[in-house]
Amino acid sequence: MTGHNQHPDSPVTALTPDAVDRLESLFGPIDEDLARHYPGDRIGGQPSHTVYVSAADASANVPAEWGTAASAILDAHPEAFAELDTANVLPLVRERLSTAPIQDLRIDFEDGYGWRSDVVEDRHATAAGAALAALAKDPDGPTWLGIRSKGLAAHERRRGIRTLELVLDGAGGVPDGFVFTVPKLRAASQVAAVVALCEELERAHGLPDRALRFELQIESPQAVIGADGTTTLAQAITRADGRCTSLHYGTYDYSAACGITSAQQSLAHPVADHAKNVMLVAAAQTGVWVCDGSTQVVPTGSPEQVSASARRHFDLVTRSLERGFYQGWDMHPGHLVTRWLATFGFFRHAMPVAAARLGGYLDRQGGEVMDEPATAQALAGVLVRGLDAGAFGLAEVQAIASGIDRDVLRGLLDRSVTVSLG
């Protein structure tokens, strides 16, 4: 008797069809569960950064105002940024600042806003909604946008819910690319309540099912490791019912909660690295993005101070990119200069090698490095992220490997493009 799909001339195996069916009945539900929880990484579309602005200062003019302010800082201190430009991308940076300086905007009603009277916050919430709706219609506006409302603790959550509702009212619904940030997550069970909040808002406001999405801000040690010793984040992603778009690291709250003194709080501190590495592992292959945090050092003051702070932010962004964090917070217009300088430089340095290796992989020419499908997938990810960031164009990639286009890259990412070994 031959097995399933077995050629008549193949050797006969000992397992019967019934035995194989029994094994399939055991593996099948596991396959379904893994496919549900780990659909694959969502490569493509992730913004390079998230800009936070206080709701008191929010308007549809924020991107243009920040781009103008960033350009002024660059013009006032060209030498501070020129020394960082090892990939000759400053012209690209200037173009980005003048056209579409912000990819992701978050209007802040939490730490960056503080506590104001209900009347004032109500007014700011409605205005924020109108601003987000206008930005969503701007072809050069942010691809992603939203708010960070107050947290989930008992003393603030009703205010946060009211603000979110008023923002949606002010926007006239859910703007394209809208996401709201849930700060200070501490328990996975809180995520189920956030999902219920989304359902209730959709029902009350006549919104389409599953129209609301959120991101979780990791600012508490309990969000990483729970009281039972398990990884809170992994459970939180599962309980989000597919609505969680990303995990955002909160540099200063998290560091302070771990007892790190203010002078040592940094994205590069070992405490931060541990938390962010857990975030990466928990989010891997779930389709949830991971976003690094911020630095409070801004490029202002004397030329020496501007140069030092620019170098610091540039190095931090580069460090994050090297460690697989392709998004981070920007808190000041000056951060846009070094954000785009570091991002463009990182991907432009990586592109020629990635394109050549992918071209060789597709042609099966090999060379000094014999790449496997997983490596080809990673190389395609480099090119997709670089294209999304605007670090280079497809024509530049095709000048190195003519067979690469967006469809090929997508196929390599989901492994639907295969290379025969003969």
Contact yes or no for 358/110 (Cβ under 8 A)? no
Q: What are phi and psi of 145, to 5 degrees?
A: -160, 165
- Count of C-beta atoms within a 10 Å radius of residue 165: 18
CA angle 295, 300, 302 (to 5 degrees): 130
Query: What b/e readout covers 393-405, taking b as 16+ CB neighbours within 10 angstroms?
Result: eeeebeebbeebe
Task: Return the closest-CA partner of residue 202 out of 210, 194, 192, 191.
Answer: 210
- Count of C-beta atoms within a 10 Å radius of residue 357: 22
Q: What pLDDT, on a 0 to 100 scale, did the predictor assign at position 420?
A: 47
Single pTM value for the model: 0.91
Residue corresponding to tokens 């003019």: 61
Q: Residue 105's beta-bridge partner residues?
A: 51, 145
- Count of C-beta atoms within a 10 Å radius of residue 13: 13
What single-letter amino acid sits at 198?
A: C
DSSP state of 225: B
Q: What pLDDT, on a 0 to 100 scale, did the predictor assign at position 6?
A: 58
Residues 381-413: tens digit of each pLDDT: 999 999 999 999 999 999 999 999 999 999 999
Task: Kindly give the confidence (pLDDT) of every residue in the chain, 422 residues in length, as a single tens digit, with 9 standing for 90 and above.
Answer: 444 555 667 677 789 999 999 999 999 999 999 999 999 999 999 999 999 999 999 999 999 999 999 999 999 999 999 999 999 999 999 999 999 999 999 999 999 999 999 999 999 999 999 999 999 999 999 999 999 999 999 999 999 999 999 999 999 999 999 999 999 999 999 999 999 999 999 999 999 999 999 999 999 999 999 999 999 999 999 999 999 999 999 999 999 999 999 999 999 999 999 999 999 999 999 999 999 999 989 999 999 999 999 999 999 999 999 999 999 999 999 999 999 999 999 999 999 999 999 999 998 755 555 568 889 999 999 999 999 999 999 999 999 999 999 999 999 998 766 654 44
In the chain, what is the greatest distance between 2 CA atoms, to the nearest angstrom? 84
Residues 62-73: tens digit of each pLDDT: 999 999 999 999
Task: Return the closest-CA partner of residue 74 out of 106, 52, 59, 96.
Answer: 96
Q: What pLDDT, on a 0 to 100 scale, did the predictor assign at position 370?
A: 56
Q: What pLDDT, on a 0 to 100 scale, did the predictor assign at position 421?
A: 42
Query: DSSP for 68-106?
Result: HHHHHHHHH-HHHHHTT-TT--HHHHHHHHHH---SEEE
Query: What b/e readout covers 123-136, taking b as 16+ CB neighbours within 10 angstroms?
Result: ebbbbbbbbbbebb
